[in-house]
Each structure stands twice: as structure tokens, then as C-alpha cells.
Chains A and B, each alone.
Chain A
Amino acid sequence: MILDSKIPNGPLEEKWTNYKKTAKLVNPANRKKLDVIVVGTGLAGSSIAASLGEMGYNVKSFCFQDSPRRAHSVAAQGGVNAAKNYKNDGDSVYRMFADTLKGGDFRARESNVYRMAECSLNLIDQAVAQGVPFGREYGGYLNNRSFGGVQVSRTFYARGQTGQQLLLGAYQALMRQVGKKTVELFSRHEMLDLVMIDGKARGIIVRNLDTGEIERHSAHAVVLATGGYGKIYYLSTLAMGCNGSAIWRAHKKGALMASPSWIQVHPTSLPQSGDYQSKLTLMSESLRNDGRIWVPSKNNETRKGNDIPEEERDYYLERRYPAFGNLAPRDISSRAAKERIDAGFGIGPLKNAVYLDFSKAIREQGKEKIQEKYGNLFDMYLKITGYDAYQEPMMISPSAHFSMGGLWVDYELMTTVPGLFALGEANFADHGANRLGANSLLQASVDGYFIAPYTIANYLSNEIHTGKISTEDPAFEKAENAVKKQIEELINIKGTKTVDHFHKTLGKLLYDYCGLARNEEGLKYAIEEIKKLKQEFYRDVRVSGHGNNMNTELEKAGRVADYFEIGELMCYDALTRNESCGAHFREEYQTPDGEALRNDAEYQFISAWAWTGEHTEPELIKEPLVFEEIQPTVRSYK
């Protein structure tokens, strides 16, 4: 199989314009004849559903939460990037493109990254027009702050709740269309399979989570905007319901998965405090603008943070990366923290954290200024930990966060299954091996508001003569039966261990062997252990209740069943990449001072994986990455 990325011809800065010029249109009168399914209501899902609805297509929008407003985009704190150059500090679309490409360790497509930077300008306009209350200067103009991995101020923010405000904007746009009846909303519904007819995506099978009913929905195109699968580690910054099931089930129907092992570990989350813990809470990366990160310079320090004098503190980021200091990119900051913790310099009751210290910023700027910038984050810290971070340094720790991997998509954001699109974190496209801060809200939004409306229309222009797709087609029946069979199987195991037990065990295995650092031996071990754990799951899991009513345990069991397979693929992916890049750090490939050692000669490609069946190894298909504009260099933040 040869992957066609469909990158348009012409110079980089004209590619998207050229695409739009030649993309085919659908006559407004014909749009009513076309149905589109959108799964997920985060920034990508809400914005594409709203956009397609207002264009006149029949849209069905699905989410597993009780309301589309709960999607996990809501939790992003720090901000959204846009190359507006309002600060006159030398920013431009090109610079943002270059920063993103470099930040992703040269493992992303140039054309996609450039387009994201280009569309960033429109996103801020769109959000402001929707009433998103971004931070403002006293004169009334938009304010910016800076984020890890860059030296300009291009991050727009709404206090520490940027994701919430952007999502509410998109949700309101979606609900406006629901009111106009151009979009039909199905909350508390979970997609359990993709239906293909004649090689095209033609619908989905969903479970109504309230009633347990299995439903069939048909469409001329299916859009998956279901977010990331970082919750595979169990402890992560993601919402409890975040999962990889929709994309995984599409993968098993023929869509390739790209770069599954690139899951970002975020440097500033709250540390784990006990075995009962269900998640790790993210503290916005924006805190690193003013907070200084350090550990005691003495091993096994027992004194409290405030009692350790300045000269006995090791500001290791400022020491190792003087040019970027505390704003070093996420993968580098996370690894540096792990290095210090592993070396015995960690702090806190479990010695698994580092300090994020605001005392200097409070001394210089005053408590009020810090309160204005990060007040809600300090409040959140107090609620969760019981400590006042105005008085003593915060304790932070790295935790699994964002999946750069996902379904492989071409320039049109279409997967290898015709008619199946993947948007936002569900695709692999724009971040390479490491996502720069504040680019996640951006990618999800521009995919949904500005890119997919053109590319999906281009696809649908060939579908106007197809006519209504019947859910009576044998393909629907087959998919529905398979879903019902799986549910029955899970309910009937009636073993002794809970779903969470298996999820936690898998998560720990992945943290240890396919987490911040990996090596060949560990990955091979993990693959075998995951296989064993999966067998044990199908032998000994206990899913209480029935399939025909509300049953959260059953929902979780289905997701964990998929996580076993995703986890295995993550390890295969990590195993075949004999280099260190971004979120992927293979211990065998590092410089003498512990930095990631990339191998461009052999690994300048995207790993796209094909499903070959349950008991066979997945098939690797390579998409070579061609760099015309920027030649890959060693990523240095020193």
C-alpha cells in the first residue's frame, strides 16, 4: 500500500489557497440530500458539526457525555496560539510554522503544519466574534502570553480556562444549529463500530448509554473527532471517559493508525499521592512563565521547600537549557524532571515531584499580579492538595497527556477509508513527535472551523447521486451483531477482577515500559505482558449488571478491551523506531549528556500501521517526510 498524502502542488504558503481554489463545491440545494455523522463534541467535533449544519447538510452529532459542553477540550487551561504578532515581537505565520515543526522534532508534515499556522489568524477572529472573553489589555486590545518552546508571545488566553471558553463558543454554535434543526444531537451515545459499504464509511453503530439500546445510523461521510487516548495509562490528565475506542474500531475496519507511541507526558501536573488515585490534574503550562522549577541539590533532602536556601537549590532547567530555561518544551522539561526524580532528588511524600516556585515572581510583581494571572490555578491547587502555593512552592510531576498519534489522515483530513475523516487529537497530523503548548486547542478548532468544511464538501461533491443510505443494508446488520456479541461476551465472563483493576495494571505497564523512556528489552517484555493481561481480562473480568440498560462498568470494559490492543500497537511502534524524538525517548539512542538522538537518515517518516488480525503482528507502512522549506536540525534549547 502506498500512502497518498494529497499535498497540493505549489509553494508552501500557497498550497492551502490553491487547494481551496480547486476544491469542488456542493450546490446548496443538494446539501440537504447529504448526511454527515460527527462523533465527538469537543472543539473539533462541535465546530465541524456547526459548520456543516449551517452550510445546509444534515448532521448527526454524537457524544458520550450528558451534554456536548462536557467534552474534554473544556479542561485545557493555558491558551491558544495564533501568529497575530500583536506584540510586535517578530512573530509571523512562518515563524509559528517553524517553531511548531521544530517543536515536533521534525516528524510532522510541512504542509499541514504551515496550514495550521496560517488558519490560526482566523481562529482568533472567529472566537472573538462568538463572544469568547479573551484576556485584554487596558486599552481594549487582545493580550498575549508566551508558552513553552517559543520566544514570542503568541498565546491568547481566557484566564486559566481558555479551553472552557473556546469550547463553550463552539458548543453554542453547535446548539444554535441544533435549535435550527440542521444538527440532530445524540448525547449519552457511544460509537461502537464503523459501518462500511463498498469500501466507504457509511455509518456507525452506537449504544444508547441510557437505555442500552444498539442503534444504526447511516451517512455519506463519517467524521471522528473523538480526542486522544492518553487515558490508556489510567493515570493521566484526561477526563475519565476519554478513550480510543472509536478510532480503534475504525482502525480495525481498515483505517491506518499513525505514530501511536507518541503520547506526550506533560511536565506540570500534580503528583500521584496514592493507589486509589483516578487521575492526575494538569496545572497549566502557562505557570512556567513566572514559576521557576527546581529540586534540592542534595540527595534525599528532608527539609521543607521554603527552608532550603537559594544556594542549595538546583534550577535544573535554567542550568541545562539557559536559552529557554523554564520555558523549555514539554518533552524536554518532562524528561529533565524524570531524570532528577530517578536520580533521587524528587520531593514530596512519595519523592515523585519537583518544585514549581513562585516566590521570586511574587517578590518582583506582587501577589496581586500573580493572583490575576493564575489565581484559579492556585485555588485549584489548594483544593486538591490542601497547600497554599502563595506561601510555599507547588509540587508538580510529569503525567500522560496528549496523543500526537491517531488515525492517519491525508491533507484533506481523510483516513485511508474513503468518507471517514479524523479531526483534532483523533488524527496524527500536525504535531510531529511532540506538541507545543497551546497548539492543541488551535489544531482542533482549525480542523473543524476552517479545514474540514472545505475538504468534506470536496468529498461529498461526488456523493450527491448516492441517495439515502439504508440502515437495512447487511453491513449494518453484521456490525450490529458483532457489537451485541461483544457486549454479551463481556457480561458473561463473570470473573473476579474489576475493569479498573485491568486498566490500572495496563497503565502501570505502559508507564514503566512505554512511557517517558523506552528500550528494546522493555518494549518486548511489555508486548508479551499485555497479551497475557488481555487473556486474563477475557477470562477473569467481572462486569456487573446487564447489557440492556445504563451500565458504566460495561462502557469501561469495552474501552479497556480496546486499550489492550492499542497498548500493544504503541509498543510495536516504539520498538521499530530506533531513534529518540519528541515524546519517544529510546534509552539506547541518546547523546552523552542525555539528550534525544534523532536519526533522520533512517527514520524521517511517519509510521502508519495496518490491522492484520488479532494474533498477527501489525503491518508497518511508511510515509516519507519531505522537508522543502526547513531542513531538520538538531533541536537545541540551550
Chain B
Amino acid sequence: MDLHLKIWRQKDQKSEGKLENYDLKDLNPHMSFLEMLDTLNEKLITEGDEPVEFDHDCREGICGQCGMMINGLAHGPLKNTTTCQLHLRSFKDGETIVIEPFRAEAFPVKRDLKVDRSAFDRIISSGGFVSINTGQAPDATAIAVTHQLAEEAFDSAACIGCGACVATCKNASAALFTSAKVTHMALLPQGKEERSERVIKMVKQMDNELFGHCSNTEACEIECPQGISVLNIARMNYEYSRALFFKRK
């Protein structure tokens, strides 16, 4: 199949960027979207041009490093799919595809399609963990967790931190990402002890990173490759209010 690509090219954070046109012919529809970009880069390198920089690593949909806006949609048209798991069979022969980086003030562009998502790491570092040192944990059976609860916690823990929720949100809010971790930890007995401190610190950090507020449009859930539910955001709001209500003087 043939494709016409419009790709965002930007030398670095300070430079201005713009969309460039590229044509690719005779592509195999079983090719993944990133393999299509590999093919384009091979062509650009052989022709003496600089290849398009984009982030990716596992190419199995689990590491969360890939991600771009494809025709205005985070990770492209397939539901619950990362860019690396998107294949050309989702597009039509001859189609024009617009490829841009994930955009948000908190995710500055590094080059072309690569953005800086370290704000997510700082949110986790502010409180997204159970404070347990290594080596002396109690026996795992000492803490019973029902099957249903473990599964529910897992649903939230499955977030891959790709940033699609931020990129697709009109406010560039990180509420889905942050709330998924808050919920995962608050549900489990191991994480309950710190739930108040955790949610307050994480929300504060989220604001410090210049992410916008959540205004409940729910676009994040629709474009999340892991199908993380917006109910996590409701849970985060509950945890936050609860934490403030019971805050020790």
C-alpha cells in the first residue's frame, strides 16, 4: 500500500517545528506503524537526510515509551493500543497520515516526535510507592487480599505511563496517570497506611509540573492504551477530600 505522511520535524526544544511531507510506496499492510517509520528512516538515511527521531523500545505495548499523535489521536485509531502495536492494516491505501508529538506544556518536545515525560517520574517520586525498605518484608501470606480486590488494584496498576492521557486532554491534565497509582495503592492493605500523605503529595507535584486540571471530558480513558478507567479519577478526588478532611493539625 502507499501512504502520504505529514510528520512534525523540530530540531530541538528551542527551534520552531513544522510538518514535512513524505511519500512511501509498496508498504506491507502487516507492517507495524513503527516499522513503517523505520522504513521511512532507512530511505531518508540512504538519501542523505536526517531520520525522524521517535521514542520506542519494547514494541510489545508494555514499556510505554512510544507514543505520538496520529491524525489527532493519541496512539492512532485503534482502541486500547499503543503506537507500536498499531499496524498499517488500520489505514487505507493512499491515505494521508498526520504524525505529531504528544503535546503538553509539561511534556516539552526534545526533537521531532520525542518528548520529555520525566514529570511522570517526579510524580511517582513524590509519593507513588509503599514506604518499605528492602530485605525485611513480612511473609506474603500475612496480608490476605481477596481475588476481586487484587484484580481491581491490578486494573489501576496496569498503567504504562505513556502519557496519552495528557496528550489527548484539552487541559493536558495528568489526572488519569496520577489517579491510577493513587487508586492501586489505596485499594491494597499494604498501601493504605500512607494513603492520605500519598494523594496530597502526588496531587501537589502534578500541579507543580504544570499539568492542567481535570474537567471530566473523559477523553483520557478513550485513548488510554491500557483502558484505565476514569473512575480512578473519582477515587483520587475522594482520597484527596478524605485526606484533607482528616488532615492532622
CA A75 to CA B58, docked complex, whole Å: 7
A128 touches B55 (CB 8 A): no
Interface stretch, picked from A159-167, A197-205, A478-486, A604-612, is: A159-167
Least Cβ–Cβ distance between A84 and chain B, in angstroms: 7
Q: Which residues of B contact A133 (CB under 8 A)?
A: 145, 150-151, 153-154, 157, 184, 188
Does A67 sit at the interface, judged by CB under 8 A? yes
Does B126 sit at the interface, judged by CB under 8 A? yes
Q: Which residues of B contact A86 (CB under 8 A)?
A: 141
Least Cβ–Cβ distance between A278 and chain B, in angstroms: 5
A380 touches B60 (CB 8 A): yes
Least Cβ–Cβ distance between B59 and chain A, in angstroms: 5
A139 touches B63 (CB 8 A): no
Does B215 sit at the interface, judged by CB under 8 A? no
Interface of B is mostly: loop
Least Cβ–Cβ distance between B200 and chain A, in angstroms: 14
Least Cβ–Cβ distance between B155 and chain A, in angstroms: 9
Residues of A within 8 A of B (CB): 47, 50-51, 54, 65-72, 74-75, 84, 86, 122, 124-131, 133-142, 158-159, 161, 164-165, 168, 171-173, 175-176, 178-179, 185, 187, 210, 239-241, 273-274, 276-279, 281-282, 379-380, 383-384, 386, 449-450, 453, 496, 498, 500-501, 542, 544-545, 549-550, 552-553
CA A463 to CA B125, docked complex, whole Å: 30
Residues of B within 8 A of A (CB): 12, 28, 30-32, 34-35, 38-39, 42, 44-46, 48-51, 53, 55-65, 78, 80-81, 85, 87, 89, 110-111, 114, 116-118, 120-121, 124-135, 137-141, 143-147, 149-151, 153-154, 157-158, 160-161, 184-185, 188, 190-191
Given contacts A70-B58, A131-B153, 11 further A-B contacts (CB under 8 A): A70-B63, A70-B65, A72-B63, A129-B130, A137-B147, A164-B158, A173-B129, A240-B57, A383-B81, A453-B134, A500-B42
Interface core residue of B44, B61, B125, B188 (most chain A CB under 10 Å): B125
Known: A239-B58, A276-B28, A496-B46. A128 touches B190 (CB 8 A): yes
CA A544 to CA B44, docked complex, whole Å: 9
A384 touches B87 (CB 8 A): yes
28 A-B residue pairs with Cβ-Cβ distance under 8 Å, sorted by A, are: A54-B134, A65-B57, A66-B118, A67-B64, A70-B63, A122-B135, A125-B137, A129-B130, A129-B138, A129-B143, A129-B190, A130-B137, A131-B130, A131-B184, A133-B153, A135-B150, A136-B145, A165-B154, A173-B129, A176-B129, A239-B60, A276-B31, A278-B32, A384-B85, A449-B134, A544-B44, A549-B111, A552-B53
- Closest Cβ neighbor of A380 among chain B residues: B61
- Closest Cβ neighbor of B132 among chain A residues: A129
Q: Which residues of A contact B141 (CB under 8 A)?
A: 86, 141-142
From B12, B49, B59, B131, contact of A549 by CB (8 A) = B12
- Closest Cβ neighbor of A242 among chain B residues: B57
Report, nearest first, the 4 A-B pairs whose CB atoms are least far apart: A140-B144, A172-B129, A129-B137, A175-B125
Q: Which residues of A contact B49 (CB under 8 A)?
A: 544
B154 touches A159 (CB 8 A): yes
Q: Which residues of B contact A135 (CB under 8 A)?
A: 147, 150
CA A340 to CA B211, docked complex, whole Å: 55
A161 touches B121 (CB 8 A): no
Q: Which residues of B contact A137 (CB under 8 A)?
A: 147
Interface core residue of A69, A173, A379 (most chain B CB under 10 Å): A69
Known: A72-B57, A175-B125. A136 touches B85 (CB 8 A): no
A550 touches B111 (CB 8 A): yes
CA A165 to CA B128, docked complex, whole Å: 14
Q: Which residues of B contact A383 (CB under 8 A)?
A: 61, 78, 81, 85, 87
